[in-house]
């Protein structure tokens, strides 16, 4: 029986691949490339920024996970790490930076203040950036140790590998998300229900048929 | 902090010109209370007496304080870089009684000490005390569209919803 380079039996329907060829799905390949080259955009506003710098430094090297450069331009990054509390005055700036990043993009909310407002439940601190920005990973801690941030990056890499697509379909949530029922007008609701519910469809068509 | 006797001489000089002013010495720190009509004159006089540094202008809200006679207590911290003296000047003001004025007003010392420019802006922003004669009185730390004065005692710590008044950006339209 003939064997190909990988040691598997080379029968009909099996490709004979040389050693330096890998066959994969396009999505998986794209995910692998993207997850291993996450370039962070450090949005460091407070103390967590120091820990972010420490994570990028030589002892807990973040570059070995693909975060080779901390680009400070949103146009050149794919991962925004919000490290530190975000005040009311800074929130529109954060939103603008987020909108300027190109897709595919992800967001890590680092520390207690970015995730929930932390200890600062005051008139000026936003109680969690996920109220206004879509967040993919939360890192608890005040500040989180560099190892925790690295764990978040690893978890984000797993998430990208699991859920990513080459065209970024996973970011188009409007097709997957249903609008809140209470906010939909009644006649719109009927149309929506008809599209999904065969009983309503039958009733509507019977009523149309009769009239 | 050891008590500085030269400040006593200064105080006697001060009170000579301005009538009886209430002075307190607490742990070596001297403080003078001056009524609002004479505050600008006293501060100008103190500048001539060698207090060339205005360390801070701040305010205390005595809204819920037992025994308080007036609501706001402005604090001017002065220091002399030449003689190492320090002095605190207190000016008490109250909310205006008439409906035409919305904020208490004192005269600005920005012409005397340049540092008062931003210090008085901060007091205006957080306490709502207007400084007449200030070159550019607008908010300093809060956003310019903010309407309240957050460090007043009747303003809640968590605010009145201004901190969450932003559009929500979801994944679809980012």
| Domain-embedded: residue A164 | yes
A87 plus A186 within the same structural domain: no
Q: Look at residue A176 and tell me whether its pLDDT is greater than 60.
A: no
**Pair B104, B129: CB distance under 8 Å:** yes
pLDDT above 90 coverage of chain A, percent:
55
**Do A116 and A206 reside in the same domain of the chain?**
no
What is the rounded CA–CA span in Å between residue A7 and residue A125? 61
Q: How far is A135 from chain B (nearest CA, A)?
A: 9
Pairing label, strands A106-110, A79-83: parallel
pLDDT over 80 (residue B65): yes
Q: What pLDDT is recorded for position A1?
A: 45
Q: What is the pLDDT of residue B2?
A: 56
Over range B130-141, report the average pLDDT: 94
**For residues A64 and A153, what is the distance between their CA atoms, to the nearest angstrom?**
11
DSSP letters for B80-133? -TTT--EEEEEEEE---SSSS--S-EEE--TTT-TTHHHHHHHHHHHH--EEET
For residue A130, tell me if it sits in a domain: yes
pLDDT over threshold 60, residue A39: yes
Assigned domain for A61 exists: yes
Q: Do B163 and A171 touch (CB under 8 A)?
A: no
- Chain A (47-106) residues lying within 8 Å, Cβ to Cβ, of chain B: 88-89, 91-92, 95, 98-99, 103, 105
Are residue A57 and residue A146 in the same domain, yes or no?
Answer: yes
Residue A1 located in a structural domain = no
Q: Please report which confidence band the pLDDT of residue B98 belongs to, taking 50, 70 and 90 as the band edges.
A: confident
Mean pLDDT, to the nearest integer, of A167-192? 66
Domains in chain B, ordered, with CATH?
Answer: 5-147 (3.30.460.80)
Cβ of A95 within 8 Å of Cβ of B158? The answer is no
Pairing mode of beta strands B53-61, B72-79: antiparallel
Neighbouring-strand partners of residue A125: A87
Q: Give the pLDDT score at A3.
A: 52
Cα–Cα nearest to B104, from B84, B80, B124, B76 = B124
A171: chain B residues, CB-CB within 8 Å: 171-172
* Same-domain status, A137 and A194: no
- Residue A80 main-chain phi, psi, to 5 deg: -100, 120
Q: What is the mean pLDDT of residues A77-86?
A: 94
A108 with A188, same domain: the answer is: no
A174–chain B Cβ distance below 8 A for any pair: yes
How confident is the model at residue B168, as a pLDDT?
Answer: 85
Could you tell me if A162 and A191 lie in one domain? no
Q: What percent of chain B has pLDDT over 90?
A: 63
Q: How many domains, chain A?
A: 2
Confidence of residue B127 (pLDDT cuts 50, 70, 90): very high
pLDDT digits (tens, 9 = 90+) for A5-32: 555 555 566 777 788 887 778 888 999 9
Same domain, yes or no, for A92 and A195? no
Of A1-5, A48-52, A161-165, B1-5, give the lowest mean pLDDT range.
A1-5
Residue A159 scores a pLDDT above 60 = yes
Residue A14 lies in a domain: no
Task: Decide if the complex's ipTM is over 0.85.
Answer: no
Nearest to A173 among B160, B163, B170 (CB): B170
Structural domain contains residue A7: no
Q: What is the CATH number of the domain that holds A102?
A: 3.40.50.12280
Contact call for B158 and A121, based on CB within 8 A = yes
Nearest CA to A167 among A211, A103, A107, A112? A103
The answer to whether residue B172 neighbours chain A at the CB level (below 8 Å) is yes
Between chains, do B169 and A98 touch, taking CB under 8 Å as contact?
A: yes
Q: Could you tell me which of B121, B97, B89 has the C-alpha nearest to residue B108?
A: B121
pLDDT at A73: 93
* Interface touch B158/A124, C-beta < 8 Å: no
Which residues have a Cβ under 8 Å from the Cβ of B39 and sit 6 or more positions away?
B89, B91, B106, B107
Q: How confident is the model at residue A115 (pLDDT cuts 50, 70, 90)?
A: very high
pLDDT reading at A83 higher than 70? yes
Question: Which of B157, B160, B171 lies nearest to residue A173, judging by beta carbons?
Answer: B171
Mean pLDDT for B127-133 is 95
Q: In what helix (H) or strand (E) does residue B79 lie, and over which residues does it extend?
A: strand B72-79
Give the mean pLDDT of chain A. Answer: 85
- Among A95, A105, A125, the residue with its CB nearest the CB of B163 is A125
Minimal-distance CA residue of chain A relative to B150: A123
Q: Does B155 touch chain A (CB under 8 A)?
A: yes
- For residue A177, give the chain B residue with the closest CA: B172
| CB–CB contact A132 B156 (8 Å) | no
Residue range(s) defining the domain that contains residue A194: 181-210
Q: Is residue A186 part of a domain?
A: yes
Taking only the tens place, the pLDDT of each residue in B15-52 is 667 777 888 888 888 999 999 899 999 999 999 988 99
Instruction: Give DSSP secondary structure letters for A2-62.
Output: -B-TTSSB--TT-----TT-----HHHHHHHHHHTT--EEEEE-STHHHHHHHHHSSTT-S
Are the beta carbons of B163 and A126 separated by less than 8 Å? yes
| Residue A163 sits in the same domain as residue A185 | no
Q: Which of A120-124, A161-165, B16-20, B35-39 has the lowest mean pLDDT?
A: B16-20
A92 shares a domain with A61:
yes
* A55 and A124 within one domain: yes
Nearest to A123 among B163, B170, B174 (CB): B163
pLDDT above 60 for B92: yes
Claim to verify: residue A43 and residue A119 sit in the same structural domain: yes
What is the mean predicted confidence (pLDDT) over A143-157? 95
Beta carbons of B169 and A131 less than 8 Å apart? no
CB A123 within 8 A of CB A67: no
Instruction: Tell me, yes or no, whether A43 and A133 share the same domain.
Output: yes
pLDDT of amino acid B7: 67
Please say if the pLDDT value at position B138 is more than 70: yes
Q: How far apart are the C-alpha atoms of A158 and A161, rounded to whole Å?
A: 5
Closest Cα in chain A, distance from residue B87 (Å)? 33
Residues of chain A with C-beta less than 8 angstroms from the C-beta of B174: 98-99, 103, 105, 134
Q: Is residue A143 part of a domain?
A: yes
Element (H, E) at A207: helix A198-210
Q: Which residue has the tokens 């009886």?
A: B20
Chain A, 110 to 129: residues with Cβ < 8 Å from chain B are: 121-127
């Amino acid at each position: 029986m003939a064997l190909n380079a990988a040691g598997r039996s080379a029968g009909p329907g099996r490709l004979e691949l040389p050693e330096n060829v890998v066959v994969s799905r396009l999505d998986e390949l794209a995910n692998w490339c993207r997850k291993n080259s996450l370039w962070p955009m450090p949005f460091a506003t407070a103390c967590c920024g120091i820990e972010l710098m420490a994570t990028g430094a030589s002892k807990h090297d973040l570059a070995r996970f693909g975060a080779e450069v901390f680009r400070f331009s949103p146009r050149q990054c794919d991962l925004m790490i919000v490290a530190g509390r975000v005040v009311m005055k800074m929130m529109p700036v954060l939103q603008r930076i987020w909108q300027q990043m190109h897709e595919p993009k992800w967001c890590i909310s680092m520390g207690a203040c970015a995730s929930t407002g932390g200890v600062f439940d005051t008139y000026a601190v936003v109680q969690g950036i996920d109220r206004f920005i879509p967040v993919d990973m939360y890192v608890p801690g005040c500040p989180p140790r560099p190892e925790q941030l690295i764990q978040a990056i690893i978890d984000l890499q797993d998430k990208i590998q699991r859920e990513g697509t080459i065209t970024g379909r996973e970011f188009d949530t409007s097709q997957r998300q249903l609008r809140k029922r209470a906010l939909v007008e009644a006649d719109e609701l009927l149309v929506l229900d008809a599209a999904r519910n065969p009983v309503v469809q039958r009733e509507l068509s019977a009523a149309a048929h009769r009239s | 902090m050891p008590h500085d006797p030269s400040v006593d001489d200064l105080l006697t000089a001060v009170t000579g010109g301005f009538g009886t002013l209430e002075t307190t010495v607490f742990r070596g720190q001297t403080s003078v209370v001056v009524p609002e009509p004479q505050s600008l004159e006293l501060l100008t006089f103190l500048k001539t007496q060698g207090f060339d540094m205005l360390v801070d202008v701040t305010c205390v809200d005595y809204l819920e304080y037992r025994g308080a006679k007036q609501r706001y207590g402005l604090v001017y911290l002065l220091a002399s870089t030449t003689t190492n003296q320090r002095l605190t000047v207190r000016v008490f003001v109250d909310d205006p009684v008439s409906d035409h004025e919305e904020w208490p007003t004192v005269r600005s010392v920005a012409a005397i000490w340049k540092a008062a420019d931003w210090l008085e802006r901060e007091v205006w922003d957080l306490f709502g005390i207007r400084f007449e004669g200030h070159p550019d009185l607008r908010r300093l730390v809060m956003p310019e569209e903010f309407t309240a004065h957050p460090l007043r005692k009747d303003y809640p710590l968590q605010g009145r919803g201004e901190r969450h008044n932003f559009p929500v950006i979801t994944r679809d339209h980012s």
